[in-house]
Structure 1
Amino acid sequence: MRPPLRAVATLATAAALLTGCSSGDDWSRPHPKPIPIGTLGPGFFDPSAPPTPESTVTPRPGSWSGVRPAKGYRVVLLTAGDDEPTRALVAAIKGWAGETHVDLRTVVADDGHDLVPSITRALELGPDLIVSAGNDLVDPLTLVSPHHLSQQFLVVGAELAEPTHNVTAVDWSGASFRGEGLGMSSTYDPGSFTAERCAAAIRAGVAAVLNDLTGIVIWLDQL
């Protein structure tokens, strides 16, 4: 005897929640290379001297606003911690994802022992981009990211001390946590993680990645 349709629907919903899968797209299917929609505005970087990996650029405010990903861009939000700055970043990333219609999935590190495993879970999803929010993830990303050079990472509100070409960061003087025992910056200010700055961070960072300006630090002190 066939199960009732309501039971089938309930089971399907439960399975989707457990796997974190979007009902609109199966990430196991072939996916075209992401391309930007729109172009960077004047002042994002100097075209005559494109930034090299590990360099820092200070883009003109709003020079990234004309760029967005195509619908269905596959993004994993990787997050750890429940402090106010991390919550502000997560809210901004989710808001950006909703506005741009990207396919967003979230991986949360449960505790300190789950940091590296959480990165592994994000990698296994095979996204176009992994966006990291939370200072606790900086050192684990330093360990893991050099072994996955084909995967693009974006760190918002912090940076890696020695990033490889696949790790881009968006930072400012009130953030600038770098891990590796360097401690918190003397200019660290939780109050600098405003909704406006966090929203600018995800947009500027993704605009850079989509334009192959990766492995750099985008400095947002001029907002």
Structure 2
Amino acid sequence: MSRLLPAALALLVLAGCSSGDWDEARPAPVPIGALGAGFVDPSHPPAPEATITPSPGSWDQVHPPEGYRVVLLTIGADAPTTTVVTAVEEWAEAEKVSLRTVTADPAEPVDAIVEAMNMKPDVVVSAGDGLIDPLALVTPNHLDQQFLVVGAELAEPTANVTAVEWAGAGFRGEGLGSSTTYDAATFTAERCARAVRAGAAAVLHRVRGIVLWVD
């Protein structure tokens, strides 16, 4: 973790240096469709850092507006990460999302996070356990940027970090391991696709800063 600190010290300067790939400022995106019954109780919204278990399919009617700006931030070529990446790409194509991809160098992961933020996306979607510790370092300092972590979680997420996990996933960072018994085989194409859609629905509807548990 200590080797990340020099890059992190320069983060505030770097984050303002690039106009990114999307030049035009615009209002916050408005989701198409509503969350279904069982996603969350509107009268009792989840507390920060809470874990909720939305009813299966309660996110199916939610779609991003066309051109929704997403940066896929990825690290590693292991099978679970590759499956998550594919799920994000297929979701983006189906929903006509404007997708950009940043692949992190394992030696300089903070630089990749900065690059992703500099593009000014609506959300940064993270795939790969190697990004968890760097994200834990960076995200509390950039609360105006939304992040969605798929298949892992930050141990102490701020309000701009939403995670989706399931039994067999849930890596929380070096020294913390996983919130469940890790099983790479649980990263199936179907489950990752559900996770991406559920997570995107939560971010779009401002159910953020929590962990969503999906089957």
1:1-150 alignment to 2 at 5 Å?
27-110=22-105, 112-150=106-144
1-side partners of 2:70 and 2:180: how far apart?
Answer: 32
Length, aligned pairs only: 197
Listed one character per residue, the Cα deviations across residues 155-212 of structure 1 (whole Å, up to 9, x for unaligned) are: 0000000000000000112101000411245511111001110000110001001111
Question: Unaligned regions of 5+ residues in structure 1, if any?
Answer: 1-20
TM-score (norm 2): 0.89
1-side partners of 2:56 and 2:161: how far apart?
Answer: 22
Listed one character per residue, the Cα deviations across residues 82-131 of structure 1 (whole Å, up to 9, x for unaligned) are: 10000000000000000000100000012x21211000100110100000
Equivalence for 1:151: 145
Listed one character per residue, the Cα deviations across residues 119-163 of structure 1 (whole Å, up to 9, x for unaligned) are: 010011010000000000000000000000000000000000000
Of 158, 163, 186, the residue aligned with 1:192 is 186
Contact 1:151/1:166 (8 A) holds in 2? yes
Q: Which has the larger radius of gyration?
A: 1
Contact 1:161/1:180 (8 A) holds in 2? no
Question: Unaligned regions of 5+ residues in structure 2, if any?
Answer: 1-19
Contact 2:167/2:180 (8 A) holds in 1? no
1-side partners of 2:195 and 2:177: how far apart?
Answer: 22
SS at match of 1:37: coil
Listed one character per residue, the Cα deviations across residues 53-83 of structure 1 (whole Å, up to 9, x for unaligned) are: 1001100111001001000000000000110
TM-score (norm 1): 0.85
Contact 1:38/1:67 (8 A) holds in 2? yes
